[in-house]
Amino acid sequence: MQTAVINEARVQLPWEELADGPSGDYVEVIDVDPASGGFYSAVNLDEVALLVQDGLAPSEGNPKFHQQMAYAVAMMTIRNFERALGRKVLWAPRPWRSIGKGGERFVEKLRIYPHALREANAYYSPSKVALLFGYFRASTRDPGRNLPGGVVFTCLSHDVLAHETAHAILDGMHRRFIEASNIDSLAFHEAFADIVALFQHFTLPESVRHQISHLRGDLGQRSLLSGLARQFGEAIGRHHALRDAIDELDPITNLPDPTALDRTTEPHDRGAILVAAVFDAFVSIYKSRVADLLRLTTGRGNQFPSSDLHPDLVGRLTVEATKSAGHVLRMCIRALDYLPPVDVTFGDYLRAIITADADLVADDVRGYRLAFIEAFRRRGIYPKDIRSLSVENLIWEAPAQPISIGWVTKQDFSYRRKRRDIFRTEEVRKRNLAKWLVSNADVSHEAIRAMGLWLRSDAKNTIRRSRELKGPRFEVQSVRVANRVGPDGQLEPQIIIEITQERRGYRTAELQQQVERQGRISGVSADFTFRGGATLIVDLRTREVRCCIVKDINSDSRLDAQRAFQFGAQSESLGATYYDAAGRREPFAFLHRML
């Protein structure tokens, strides 16, 4: 009965002309069931009869409603990203090796398959640039609130849909984040997708209002709002949501365990600690925003009422909860532009959140940044190379010496409306920047080294070379334009540049040093790929580099850490997590099957 009131919600989306599927500008729903070889008839959401009734009514037995649900939640997720990032979402491009003659890398639409698998699984496929959702029978012995043995469709879960769409968007922004370079790599991917799904709960006012009334305003309690994929979790016999954003507290100190991160390795479990930190920050922010309401009601700004709330108070608390959640979600999404292009860690993410927010919001009058720092600190999440957890120390530093990229001052960064044009323009910019870097490898060596790169011919022997460039190989991964709008309506136009390099890594430090001295050794091949590079945040108005976020290609300590992670006793089977039997990169197919 608790969920009956909130089983339905309306999602408002920008108008676009849709083909049957639905198929629009960003996504295409393809409803084929591979197990049976059958196709379901595609819904036409532009049909007049559906338009006048706000789409199909919820129905577990109607495949057309499944298609509508998949489209609506995916587009809602895309809209939230675009609001925060200040630009349009692009999907991960096709790799060069997969393009035939006359093909192109641009991926126009993310494909969504609502009934792709007959198993308790759903995942984003980087190789297909598609979302695949499964369906399965609930447990007959312990199905929770599901029909024993009844069919459960993962495409009908808002949380699963939002989670997988977030994976796809994150992969389109950071192609190297699905690689196993450290223990946080896939855990971050999973945690971030959960954060997006979690805070999208608060975009549905009916659900928020109902739960605030039920919880008497205290969102620090476990509830439908803090749980993820409840039906999925109960259907497989877990008695509760698949994951919950509220972690266990010590019964004596009433604080989370700051050492849990040190002994947690499984990506979902490790990611759950990061999710709990973000949700903790949200609860602190929400409580600070409603303190005046609580003082009027209970006389104390930190005490929630012990009796049922007046409907007007429920309404005001709902407004503050949705507003706080929206702010936190945008902070978390904006931070993606402030991450290094490779080897991301949870500590990097904390610095990215603080820096991105400080760039856009000068005065943190409500203490949002402090709430994040304290929540992360309580769970042992912080960068290892800083002196203190102050806001000033966490903000990514500006380059010690100004980094001058002459190419930037000569470029046209005018606005493009169509996503295909945005992609093509970015490809041209990437090629032009690459040419500038090659031609200035010697004269701008110090500036290039400040980016963690080495482009001169005297680079270490293990840094991969290019015959075409006749020197060290590198890749300009992105040159993105972001037009963010601050709380006072001010426009903050930026260019986000990502450049990476590769270095051959070997299983032992002794072999690594031998190859560094001698160059290639006959019959000996690299055991892993080590990457370095930088993210540059450039002010589009002044064309100056505001901050340079570096992972140095020359860092032997980082190389040693990656070697220890990939070939340590607990990580020997790690390759199976990231590659299937055919050698294709499908990390999420494996990870999500283990839920």
Dist CA 216 CA 328 (whole Å): 22
Q: Residues 479, 497: contact at Cβ < 8 Å? A: yes
Band (582; pLDDT cuts 50, 70, 90)? very low
Dist CA 499 CA 573 (whole Å): 30
Query: Tell me, what's the pLDDT at 594?
Result: 46
Tokens 């109902």 locate to 210
Q: Residues 215, 227: contact at Cβ < 8 Å? A: no
Tokens 């769970």 locate to 379
Runs of H (alpha helix) within 236-266: none
Query: Tell me, what's the pLDDT at 374?
Result: 96
Total residues found in the chain within this entry: 595
- Average pLDDT of span 281-303: 92
Structure tokens at 99: 């393009």
The 8-class DSSP code of residue 40 comes to: P
For 502-539, write each residue's pLDDT tens digit.
Answer: 999 999 999 999 999 988 888 889 999 999 999 999 98
Q: Is 569 exposed, middle or buried (0-12, 13-18, 19+ CB in 10 A)?
A: exposed
Q: Say whether pLDDT at 497 is over 90.
A: yes
Dist CA 29 CA 361 (whole Å): 38
- The candidate with the shortest Cα–Cα distance to 271, out of 387, 167, 427, is 167
- Average pLDDT of span 258-271: 91
For 361-374, write each residue's pLDDT tens digit.
Answer: 988 989 999 999 99
Across 201-210, 337-346, 564-573, least confident range: 564-573
Domain residue limits, the chain: 4-394, 406-554
Distance of CA 556 to CAs 399, 509, 520, Å? 22, 10, 18
Dist CA 213 CA 228 (whole Å): 20
Q: Residues 86, 415: contact at Cβ < 8 Å? A: no
Band (443; pLDDT cuts 50, 70, 90)? confident
Query: Tell me, what's the pLDDT at 463?
Result: 95
Q: Say whether pLDDT at 110 is over 50.
A: yes
Q: Residues 491, 483: contact at Cβ < 8 Å? A: yes
Query: Tell me, what's the pLDDT at 575?
Result: 44
Across 58-62, 348-352, 514-518, least confident range: 58-62
pTM of the model: 0.92
- The candidate with the shortest Cα–Cα distance to 212, out of 328, 320, 329, 371, is 320
Strands 38-39 and 471-472: unpaired
Q: What percent of the chain has pLDDT over 70?
A: 91
Band (61; pLDDT cuts 50, 70, 90)? confident
Q: What percent of the chain has pLDDT over 90?
A: 60
Q: Say whether pLDDT at 480 is over 70.
A: yes
Strands 491-505 and 528-539: antiparallel
